[in-house]
Structure 1
């Protein structure tokens, strides 16, 4: 069994693909653009055709290079249009806008958020332990009133009253600070 990754074979394959690229690159570019693919996407697809050719283990078994190139190009064009169809049918609305919004990371806003968090933590630490635990289970752990009552061995009415008191304490603390 011969080693397929010898430098001589790799260089020869690369040279062969380079010569095919020079010969067929512009032809493939026209092939894609005539099918309605934008020039930048067409250039990417042309590169992909030759990248796939380079990945081929043994180029000697390719009987007709131009046929192989155009079958690959046709498959890539089909995949491209399938992808575009899915993108149109299922757009990612607003995701890119939200991802690129930098005003959300304004230093003043971050500082304000940290200060509010400090106020919240200080207010929680000032509460009686049972009130704090009930509030955390309800608001942060999203447990139902009944689950909290069962877990802590108190009535559902007590849980509701403690949540109301905790909310009032937090609002009062925030009002005093701001």
Structure 2
């Protein structure tokens, strides 16, 4: 926020320059809040001053600003308590490592896919059909059994056989 343009319209049409006071408000907040939150808190104070709808003129702008700042701190404290903020962990980059898409990794993926396709082509016909219908067409075992004219137990055995053979082919 650019404080040089922060102005508060007074009821008499004149405006009060907030930027003169926001430095003091910032120092006030720095003593009472984590440094990473100070900018947001100062902005909240300025926003509340801009959007206030009081009909009375402010006699002591600086005193009123500090009262608003204290109110902003109290509101933040209540929000933090309700949201159990002290129990939250911050998410850092190391919590979610991003895998590199190196040319080597892409080539490995393509090779694994080719191995898997070749292994699927090597499966017995009925085993491949049961596996494809279940994993790719998302059919239930009962629906596959009706489609292939076999028992549900036979479908289970075909799918287990396919999984075992495919997993073995990727080693």
| Fold equivalence (TM over 0.5) | yes
Separation (CA, whole Å) in 1 of partners of 2:40 and 2:113: 48
Residue 27 (structure 1) aligned with residue 24 (structure 2): yes
Q: Which residue of 1 aligns with 2:73?
A: 77
Q: Which residue of 2 aligns with 1:148?
A: 141
Q: Normalized per residue, which structure has more helix?
A: 1
1:31-69 Cα shifts (integer Å, max 9, x gaps): 21232x133422331123213434x286x8463244653
Q: Which blocks of at least 5 consecutive residues in structure 1 are unaligned?
A: 1-10
**Distance change >3 Å, CA 98–CA 138, structure 1 → 2:** farther
SS at match of 2:89: coil
Q: Which residue of 1 aligns with 2:40?
A: 44
Q: Which blocks of at least 5 consecutive residues in structure 2 are unaligned?
A: 1-6
**Distance change >3 Å, CA 57–CA 127, structure 1 → 2:** farther
Separation (CA, whole Å) in 2 of partners of 1:123 and 1:159: 19
Q: Which residue of 2 aligns with 1:164?
A: 160
Separation (CA, whole Å) in 2 of partners of 1:38 and 1:27: 16
The count of residues paired between Structure 1 and Structure 2 equals: 153
Separation (CA, whole Å) in 2 of partners of 1:42 and 1:131: 64
**Distance change >3 Å, CA 125–CA 39, structure 1 → 2:** same
Q: Which residue of 2 aligns with 1:111?
A: 107
- TM-score, normalization by structure 1: 0.61
Separation (CA, whole Å) in 1 of partners of 2:78 and 2:107: 46
- TM-score, normalization by structure 2: 0.63
Contact 1:124 1:170 in 2 (8 A): yes
Superposed CA RMSD in Å reads 3.7
Query: For 1:54-133, what aligned pairs fall within 5 Å after superposition?
Result: 54=50, 56=51, 61=55, 63-64=57-58, 65-66=61-62, 69-85=65-81, 86-91=84-89, 96-99=93-96, 101-102=97-98, 104-107=99-102, 108-127=104-123, 130-133=126-129
Return the offset for 1:29. 1.6
